[in-house]
């Protein structure tokens, strides 16, 4: 039985009355009760075989606690900002014509929202070279990301890497679009190809559902790591 306990204002997970540990042997603890309950739910859903690769919230907490690659706040933000010039929404095709139109109709409104919301300049390209991103855009996005706590930054990077789009992840966290819409927009070209040429149905469906769960986990992790009830001052990166 998985239970939630408290220790020094942190929330811990007890598995059969034993404290859950991270891969590096640290006591597993989180700064928010909602996050602790969600992690406990992930463990309660496991049976004879523990499928850790489906336990995305647990994995994100382990990463934030152990920080196995020794990333600083600046490292996390820099990795996320890399997608400012490789963002899925910024790379367009000129052919086939119907796909090019679909990209414009579906992706342009999100880019326009980002321009207004963050007062940035960001353009799309149909060439092989990445679009030029002004330093002012980097600086504004950097300041925005740095306004989040350390744990939330791990969630931002995780969601951005899965969507291959910083803009889409920002839109999800800002509640401009939901997770389902973000996943659909991130897979626009793949969905077009499968509609045109067909797909292996079960694999295609599983792939989409897995992406949904990863992005949803990232968004929830950010929300719960940023709530006022979180122990924000203690939830910092350790080396």
Looking at residue 236, its pLDDT comes to 53
Q: Are residues 59 and 96 in the same domain?
A: no
Supply the pTM of this predicted model: 0.89
Distance, CA of 159 to CA of 218 (rounded, Å):
5
Q: How far is CA 122 from the centre of its chain?
A: 21
Looking at residue 228, its pLDDT comes to 53
| Structural domain containing residue 95 | 73-225
Q: Are residues 95 and 160 in the same domain?
A: yes
Looking at residue 140, its pLDDT comes to 97
Number of domains in the chain: 2
- Domain end call among 66, 87, 111: 66
Regions of the chain with pLDDT less than 70: 1-8, 197-205, 228-239
Distance, CA of 40 to CA of 13 (rounded, Å):
7
Looking at residue 233, its pLDDT comes to 45
């Amino acid at each position: 039985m998985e239970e939630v306990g408290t220790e020094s204002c942190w929330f811990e997970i007890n598995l059969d009355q034993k404290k859950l540990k991270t891969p590096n042997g640290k006591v597993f603890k989180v700064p928010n009760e909602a996050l602790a309950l969600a992690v406990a739910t992930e463990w309660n859903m496991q049976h004879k075989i523990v499928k850790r690769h489906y336990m995305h919230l647990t994995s994100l907490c382990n990463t934030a606690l152990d920080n196995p690659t020794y990333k600083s706040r600046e490292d996390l933000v820099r990795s996320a900002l890399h997608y400012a010039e490789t963002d899925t929404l910024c790379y367009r095709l000129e052919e086939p014509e119907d796909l090019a139109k679909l990209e414009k109709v579906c992706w342009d409104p999100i880019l326009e929202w980002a321009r207004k919301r963050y007062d940035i300049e960001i353009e799309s390209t149909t060439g092989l070279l990445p679009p030029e991103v002004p330093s002012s855009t980097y600086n504004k996005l950097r300041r925005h990301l740095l306004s989040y706590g350390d744990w939330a930054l791990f969630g931002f990077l995780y969601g951005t890497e899965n969507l291959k789009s910083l803009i889409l992840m920002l839109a999800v966290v800002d509640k401009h679009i939901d997770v389902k819409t973000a996943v659909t927009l991130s897979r626009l070209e793949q969905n077009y190809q499968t509609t045109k040429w067909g797909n292996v149905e079960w694999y295609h469906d599983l792939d989409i559902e897995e992406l949904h769960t990863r992005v949803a986990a990232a968004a929830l992790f950010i929300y719960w790591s940023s709530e006022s009830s979180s122990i924000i001052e203690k939830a910092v990166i350790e080396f």
